[in-house]
Every structure is written in C-alpha cells, then in structure tokens.
Amino acid sequence: MESHTTVKVVLLACGSFNPITNMHLRMFELARDHLEDTGQYRVVKGIISPVGDGYKKKGLIEACHRLEMARLATENSDWITVDSWESLQPEWVETAKVARHHYEDLLAAEQNDDEVDTVKYAKKRRIEENESSAHHSRGDGIHLMLLCGADVLESFGIPNLWKQEDITEIVSRYGLVCITRSGNDPHKFIYQSDTLWKYRKKIHVVPEWVTNEISATHVRRALRRGWSVRYLLPESVIYYIHEHGLYSAESEQKNANVILAPLQRYTDASSS
Amino acid sequence: MVTHRIPIVLLACGSFNPITNQHMRLFELARDHMHSTGQYQVVGGIVSPVSDGYGKQGLVPAKHRIAMAKLALQSSNWVRVDEWESQQPDWTETVVTMRYHYGRILKEYRQSMGTHTDSSGNTPHLSSPSPHLKLLCGADFLDTFKIPGLWQDDHVEELAGHFGLICVSRGNLQPERAVHESDTLSRHRHNIFLVREWVRNETSATEVRRALRRGLSVKYLIPDSVIDYIHQHNLYTEDSERRNKGTVLRPLIKQAQQLVKSLDN
C-alpha cells in the first residue's frame, strides 16, 4: 500500500441539479479516477449540494424535488452522497461559504469520528471505512476539492457573478477539479487569470475523452416536448419526474424575469 | 390516429461488445423521430448481436454479449434481444438477418390478422397496414457502404429499397454525404431517415472496453447490471482485446469468395 503518501479527498459539487443527469454522476467518476491515478490522492467521498431556491435561476424547480432526485440518482453509488444544507438556506449562499461549511463538517467528523451526515447507514459505514483506512494522519487531514465543469471555471470571468476573494479562497484553500471537454481550453483560461495562475497547482484539469453533452437544460427541453430522456438520467429519476409532473413549459417560466441572486447581490454592492 | 400509421419494427445489428447506454439511446431517438413524422408507429425494437464468426478484434463470446444485452434491456418495455443471428455458425449478412426477422414479423402479423378477420374470411382490416422493418444504425454506418468488398450491391439495394434505414446523425453532414455519394442510397433516399442527435454522446463500446482494460470507471456509461456481469466474468481484459487480432473480418472473406465463384461461372 502506498497509503502513507496519499491524501484523502472529498469532492464537492455545487450546482442546480435541475435535474441531476448521468453526466453529473460521470463527472464524479472521472474525477476520482484521475485523482487516484496520480497516486497522491484517495477519494473517499463525493458530495452533491444542490443550490437553494433563492438562487433564482430561470426554470429552477423547488429544492425538495431536486434533492430527492439527486438522492434517487445516487442510491446505487457507494461513495457519492447528497447534502441538503445549502438548499435549505433561505437565501442563496456563496459557493465559498458552502465549501467552508462542508470543510468544517469534515474536520469535526475527523475529530469525533462521527459523521454529521444523513446518508444511508450502509453508505455511511463504507465511507467511514474509506476515511479511516487511509493513513491516520492528523496533520494533512482531509482535503475538500470543488468539482466542476469547465464552464464554472470560465464563469469566474463573468462580471458580478463571483466575488474575487471567494475565487481566491476556493482555489487556494480547497482546490478545484475541473472536467473539460475537447474544444475547451482551461489551461489558457488559467493562464489568463492571475489568481488562477497563482494557484494553478491546486487546479486539477481532467480531460473527458468521451464527449458526453447531456445537460440538464437539454433534459428539461426534451421533457417539455415529450421526447424520451431514457438513458440520459437514472430510471428512478425519470419515474419521479413523471410521478410529480415536473418540468413543463410552465415550470420553465419560473424566475423568468428575475435577476440571478449573485448578480443582484454583487451589482447592488458595487453600485451602492 | 394510430389506425393510419404504419407500424414499424427497428432492428439494430452490431457487435454490442458490450451494449452501452448510447446503443439504447439510438432506439429512443429513432422512435421519437419516427413518431414525429405522424406516419409511423414504432411497435418494437430488436437488438441482434453479431455471431462470433464475425472475426472482429476483441469480440467476446456471443453468450456473454447476449447476456449483457438482456440485462441492459430488462427495463425497456419495447426493445428486446434476439439470439438468432448470434447463434449462426458463420457470420450472417445483415440483409439475411433482416429477411429472417421480417419473415417472423409478417407471420405474426398474419396470425393476428387471422384472429381479426370477419366470418366471410380473408379481408384484413384496412386500418392495420402490414408492418415495416427498418435497420437502425449510427452515423458512421452509412460510410461502410463505401468500403470495397464489404457489401454486395444487391444487398445494399435490398436494404435501402425494400427495408429502409434509420440513421442517427450528430449534426455534421456525414450521413447526407454518404447518401449523396452512393447512387443506390440516393435512389432510395426517401426510405432513409436521418435522425438528428442534438446532444453529443460519444460513448462507444470501444471506449468502454478501453476504460475497463485500464481499470477506469464505466459507471453511468453502461447499466450497473452489465458492469456487475463484466466483473463477475472478468470479460474485458488485455487478453480479450487480442482475440481475433490479425484476423480478416469475415464479411471481407465471404464476399471475396462469392466474387471468385461468380467469376468462375
């Protein structure tokens, strides 16, 4: 075993998950394979954290449904979990704060050997075994990394969407695992940003060799038009969507003329 | 109304080594497309894995490919696996496989008509036209018609003219060009349906095997039940990828033999 040199990693994915698709789940698998292949990391857990309703994104359906779909989708994974903390906050929470919350959770769990989590017992136990079978080092402890697509990295450049100090905190304190498709060039984007360049060693770029463009936007469109979405998302999620009549032309109009919470917050801040 | 629609069955031939979610997506996309024409009613789908005689590199035994396809399609209420082609000792021409399935479909149709005819006898209801069988294929399939020695001309004629093709494309002009460049396909272009796949999905069985050989995750690319089966039987390894290495694809040999025969005559 080379566990003496491996660092335990927890992957955190933030986003709408409106709805969760096989692509979201694939990102976790790709990230884990990539990190473990370096020989330096051991990925012990994945956390899916759906954004709260306060995000005000167009077509964003209620968090309770998005959470439940994510739970159903991860039922067959022995390492990916869903966390409701972010989605339960009355207002939109900055990603850096979500990361902070989970990092503190992990540190506390490390100390108490007690997971503050709601995952199923079996999964919880497996993950705990994972977490403790790696080396008992207190010092380097556990790393939290933010898992995202190349689009999130590029969104760092959109004015008023991110606070600069949040970007710095995310890349410097936690690190990023960024899944990229052919056609995107995250390295160039990193090079062009002084902040990202400074912390480039904390940004892991994972190439997705097999392009897979399933997006939640496409899934919602297909559902509105009555097209099949089978094999794009887990059966159990499709069943849930039909059962609750989610994703219609009407639901797509939610927040239609509302400004996205981060834009509202930072635009106000900069103009006042 | 259903009564005026032509019922069709979709047949997909291929290695299915192993079957992937993308294979099953093709069926869903094709069905949605055919329904949207307003003229067709897709009544069934058939997955027909090629027999071991095909001689393709890395092809694992048919019994495994069949078992995996069955597991994958357990949750589908309209696509099923058929073993006939895979059980033939030699590789079977696609057209021959289609003739076999069309024969069966017509027989079933006539039987169901028989139970529906009135006392006077033989007039089947005009409201239920006889079913069509069409070959479902991916974007690169049409290009295979250009490969010298792979297809017999009369087979292409029968496939495109008598049966018909449904080809799922990725938005480039590849299938349109293939039809344009072939006189036979061009002549039957009304019987060739091009379905646009808006979401690019490049999952291929080749990529899945590659990932498996390298110990990488294939979760969410193929169903969990198929992953379990692969691990249980230790199917895709560096050894299995060497199967048939250096072997000439059976269609190339078979077609060449026929050519020699016809020259002898």
Nearest to A213 among B22, B201, B221 (CB): B201
- What is the token pair recorded at B45? 């789908």
Tell me what ipTM this predicted complex has. 0.80
More confident residue, A262 or B217: B217
| Interface membership of A78 toward B (CB under 8 Å) | no
**Radius of gyration from C-alpha coordinates of chain A:** 19
A109 or B39: whose pLDDT is higher? B39
* Candidates A22, A32, A212; nearest CB to B202: A212
How many beta carbons lie within 10 A of that of residue A161, not counting itself? Answer: 13
Order the strands of the B132-137 sheet from edge to edge: B79-81, B40-49, B6-14, B132-137, B165-169, B192-196
Q: Supply the pLDDT for residue B141.
A: 86
CA-to-CA separations, A83 to A49, A124, A129, B85, in angstroms, rounded = 5, 13, 19, 48
Spacing of C-alpha A234 from chain mean position: 18
Domain that holds residue A158: 7-271
Of the candidates B82, B72, B74, B75, the one whose C-alpha atom is nearest the C-alpha of residue B20 is B72
Is B219's CB within 8 Å of A26's CB? yes
pLDDT given for residue B173 in this prediction = 73
**What would the two tokens of residue A16 be?**
């709408």
Q: Which of A66-70, A176-180, B119-123, B256-260 has the highest mean pLDDT?
A: A66-70
8 Å CB contact between A144 and A103 = yes
Q: Between these two residues, B39 and B118, which has the higher pLDDT value?
A: B39
Strand partners, A205: A178
Q: Please give the tally of structural domains in chain A.
A: 1
Closest residue of chain B to A228, computed from CA coordinates: B28
- Number of other CB atoms surrounding residue B241 within 10 Å: 18
- Alpha-carbon gap, residue B118 to B126, rounded angstroms: 13
Which residue, among A87, A94, A54, A43, has the nearest Cα to A69 in the 3D structure?
A87
Q: Which residues in chain A show pLDDT less than 70?
A: 1-4, 113-122, 129-140, 182-183, 210-211, 269-272
CA B45, CA A241: separation in Å to the nearest integer? 25
Residue A201 domain-assigned? yes
pLDDT of residue A135: 45
Q: Give the pLDDT of residue B3.
A: 59
Number of C-beta neighbours around residue A134 at 10 A: 19
What is residue B193's predicted lDDT score, i.e. its pLDDT? 95
Residue A235 with chain B: CB contacts under 8 Å: 75
**At which residue do the structure tokens 């059980």 appear?**
B87
Q: State chain A's mean pLDDT as an integer.
A: 87
B-facing residues of A in 208-247 (CB < 8 A) are 209-215, 218, 227-228, 230-232, 235
The number of angstroms, rounded, from the C-alpha of B265 to the middle of its chain's C-alpha atoms is 34
CA distances from A77 to A18, A68, B224 (A): 19, 15, 10
Nearest-CA distance B79 → chain A (Å) = 13
CA separation for the pair B145, B185 (Å, rounded): 9
* Sign of the alpha-carbon torsion through A146, A150, A152, A153: positive
Neighboring chain A residues of B47 at a CB cutoff of 8 Å: none
Measured from the Cβ of residue A190, the count of other Cβ atoms closer than 10 Å reads 21
Long-range Cβ contact pairs of B98-105 (< 8 A, separation 24 or more): B98/B11, B98/B133, B98/B135, B98/B159, B98/B163, B101/B9, B101/B11, B101/B46, B101/B48, B101/B133, B102/B133, B102/B163, B105/B9, B105/B131, B105/B133
| A12 within a domain of the structure (yes/no) | yes
When mean pLDDT is compared across A137-146, B3-12, B74-83, B216-225, the lowest value belongs to: A137-146
Domain assignment present for A2:
no
Question: Is B220 close to A235, i.e. CB distance below 8 A?
Answer: no
Domains, chain B: 6-115+127-264 (3.40.50.620)
From the CA of B131, how many Å to the nearest CA of chain A? 23
Of the candidates A141, A145, A152, which has an alpha carbon nearest to the alpha carbon of residue A201? A145
Quote the pLDDT of residue A137: 43
Interchain pair B28, A22: CB under 8 A: no
How many residues does this entry show for chain A?
272
Q: Whole-model pTM?
A: 0.85
Tell me whether residue A1 is in a domain: no
**Is the pLDDT assigned to residue B135 strictly greater than 60?**
yes
Region of poorest pLDDT, from A48-52, B54-58, B179-183, B254-258:
B254-258
Nearest to B216 among A22, A33, A230 (CB): A33
Suggest the residue from A210, A217, A221 to mutate for an interface test with chain B (most B CBs closer than 10 A): A210
B65: CB partners within 8 A, 6+ apart: B15, B16, B17, B18, B19, B49, B59, B86
In a domain, A29, yes or no: yes
What CATH code is carried by the domain that includes residue A123?
Answer: 3.40.50.620
On whether residue A115 sits in a domain, the answer given is yes
Gap between the Cα atoms of B64 and B69, Å rounded: 9
Q: Which helix (H) or strand (E) holds A156?
A: none
Q: Would you call B21 an interface residue with chain A, using a CB distance cutoff of 8 Å?
A: yes
Q: Which of B33, B22, B18 is nearest to B203 (CA)?
A: B22
Give the single-character DSSP code of A256.
T
Pair B195, B31: CB distance under 8 Å: no
Tell me if B195 sits within 8 A of B170, measured CB to CB.
no
DSSP string computed for B76-130:
-SSEEE--HHHHSSS---HHHHHHHHHHHHHHHHHHHHHHHS-TT-----TTSPP
What residues in B contact A216, CB-CB < 8 Å? none
Long-range contacts of B226-233 (CB under 8 A, 24+ apart): B226/B18, B226/B19, B226/B68, B226/B71, B226/B72, B229/B64, B229/B67, B229/B68, B229/B71, B230/B18, B230/B68, B233/B64
Q: Does B29 touch chain A (CB under 8 A)?
A: yes
Span B182-208, pLDDT tens digits: 899 999 999 999 998 877 777 789 999
